[in-house]
Amino acid sequence: MAQSPGASIQDPAEQDAAPPQAPDPERGRRRLGLAAWCLYDWANSAFNTVIGTFIFSVYFARGIYGDETAGAALWGYALGAAGLTVAILSPILGSIADRGGRRKPWLFSFMMITVIATALLYFARPDASFVVYALALMIIASIAFELGTVFYNSMLPTIAPPHMTGRISGWGWGMGYMGGLGALALCLVLLVQAEEPFFGLVGTDDAQNVRATVLVVAAWFFLFSLPLFFLTPDTKASPAPWREHVSRGLAVLWNTLKQIRHQGHLVRFLIASALYRDGLSTLFAVGGLYAAGTFGMSFDQILIFAIGLNVTAGLGAASFAFVDDRIGPKATILIALAGLIGLGVTILMVDDITTFIVLALGLGIFVGPAQAAGRSMMARLTPQAMESEMFGLYALAGKSISFLGPVLYATATTLFDSQRAGMATIVLVWTAGALLLATVPAPKGPRPEAPKAVVTGVANGG
C-alpha cells in the first residue's frame, strides 16, 4: 500500500513501544487523601490511649477519687452514660448528614469539642471535690469523640477502592496504635518521668505533670487531624436547606429501621460486632486500672507497658490488613477473637507480673484486626449513599449495649471485690460476639444499592 505524503516509516520496535504516560495528578491526590484519612486515626488514638486507658483514668481513680476499685467502678458507669447518649444521637445525625452530603463539617465540630473538653481536664486537681468536674468533662469528650468517629468511619467506603477496603482500614488502625504510642512516649519523656517536667515549666505539685498530659493529647489530636480536612475528599453538599436535610434524614432513618429487621444477616452482624467491640472498649477503659490494681504497677510502669502494647497492636492491625482483603473481614474477625479469648483466659489465671506482660503484649496483636476488619465489613455491607446512616447504626448497635461491658465489669468488681473478676466478664462478651458472628454470611461482591423502600420513603417524606 502506498504511503501518504508526510507519513514517516517507524521502526517496528518503536511502534510496539507504549508512549510514556504523564503522571496522573488525580491519583496522587487520592493517595494523599487516603494517607490523611489514616492519619486521623493517628491523631485521635491519643485520646483513647492517654485519657481513656492508661493515664487519666488511673489518675482519676487514684488521685481524684482516692480509691482505685471504687473509682474504677464510677469511671465505668460514666462511660456507660456517655455510650447511651451516643447510641441515641449517632444514627439520627448520620442520616441527616447523608442527606446534606458533606461529613467534614460534622467531624471537625466534634473533633473541636473533644479537644476543648480534654484540655479543660488539666484543671482537675487530685482532690475529691473535682470528681464531678472530671467526670462531666470526660462524658462530654467521650460523646463528641464517638460521634466524630461515626463520620470518620463513614468516609471509608467512599474514598477506599473496593479491593483495598480492608487494607486502608487496617493501615488506619495500625497508624492509630502508633499514634497512641507516640503520644504516650511524649508524655513519658516530657512529663511523667522527666526530672524537670517539660524543661522545668511544669512542676509535680498537685500532680501537675500528670495533669499536663491532657494538654499534650489535645494538641496532638488537633494538629494531626488537620490534614484530613485539607486533603481527604468529601462528598458533595446538597443544595437543599438544612430544614429539608433534617426532615428527609429522619424519614430515611425511620424507613431504614422498619426495613432492617428483614435483613437478618445485617442485624446479626450489628449485634455480634456490638458485643465484641463493647468488650474491646471496656478493655481499653479499664486496662490501665487492672494493671495498676492487680499487679501494683506505677504510672511509669503502666506507660512503658502501654507503649509495648501499642506496638504489638499496631503491628497486628497492619499485618492483618492484607489478610482481610485476601480471606475476607468475617474470617479475619473470627481469627482475632479466637486469639483474644484464648489469651484473655490465660491472663486471668496468672499472678506473675512478667508473665502477665508477655501475654498481654501477645493479646495486643489480635486487638487491632478485630476492630479494623469490623470496620471494613461494615463498609462492605453498607448500601451506597447511606454511609453515615449505616455507620450511625453501627455506632447505635455498639453504644446501645455499651453500658453492658462497663456495668458488668463494675458489678463483678464490686461484688467480688476483685478487678480480676471484672476482667473475666470481658472474655464472656467476646465469646458471645464470636458465636453470633459465626452465623453471619461473609459479604461478597460490590456494595449494595440503597433499598427501594428507603428511597421511596424519602421521596414521600416518610
Task: Kindly list the domain boundaries of the chain, sorted by start residue.
Answer: 32-459
Contact 273, 397 (CB under 8 A): yes
SS (H, E, C) 329-376: HHHHHHHHHHHHHHHHHHHHCCCCHHHHHHHHHHHHHHHHHHHHHHHH
Residues of the chain with pLDDT under 50: 1-18, 453-462
Considering only CA atoms, which of 279, 275, 35, 272 is closest in space to residue 167?
A: 35
Question: What is the C-alpha separation between 51 and 58, in angstroms, rounded?
Answer: 9
Residue whose C-alpha cell is 510502669? 301
Contact 201, 209 (CB under 8 A): no
Where does residue 270 fall: left (phi above 0), alpha (psi -120 to 50 degrees), or beta otherwise?
alpha
Q: Which secondary-structure segment (H or E) carries 261?
A: none
CB-neighbour burial class of residue 315 (10 A; exposed 0-12, middle 13-18, buried 19+) = middle
Contacts of 415 (CB under 8 A, 6+ apart): 421
Grid coordinates of 424? 473475666
DSSP at 96? H
The HSE-up count of residue 290 (CA atoms within 13 Å, CB side) is 28
The HSE-up count of residue 244 (CA atoms within 13 Å, CB side) is 10
DSSP at 198? T
| Helix ranges (DSSP H) in 296-328 | 299-327
Burial 50-63 (b: 16+ CB within 10 A, else e): bbbbbbbbbbbbbb
Tell me what pLDDT residue 7 has. 43
Question: What is the C-alpha separation between 248 and 250, in angstroms, rounded?
Answer: 5
Question: What is the C-alpha separation between 395 and 91, in angstroms, rounded?
Answer: 7
Tell me what pLDDT residue 458 has. 41
CB-neighbour burial class of residue 132 (10 A; exposed 0-12, middle 13-18, buried 19+) = exposed
Contacts of 283 (CB under 8 A, 6+ apart): 367, 426
Q: 32-459: CATH homologous superfamily?
A: MFS general substrate transporter like domains (1.20.1250.20)
pLDDT digit string (tens) for 127-144? Answer: 999 999 999 999 999 999
Contact 381, 269 (CB under 8 A): yes
Considering only CA atoms, which of 375, 459, 414, 405 is closest in space to residue 157?
A: 375
Question: What is the C-alpha separation between 115 and 118, in angstroms, rounded?
Answer: 5
Question: What is the C-alpha separation between 246 and 95, in angstroms, rounded?
Answer: 8
Tell me what pLDDT residue 318 has. 85
DSSP at 164? G
Tell me what pLDDT residue 2 has. 42
Q: Residue 346 is which amino acid?
A: T
Residue 441, φ and ψ in degrees, nearest 5: -65, 145
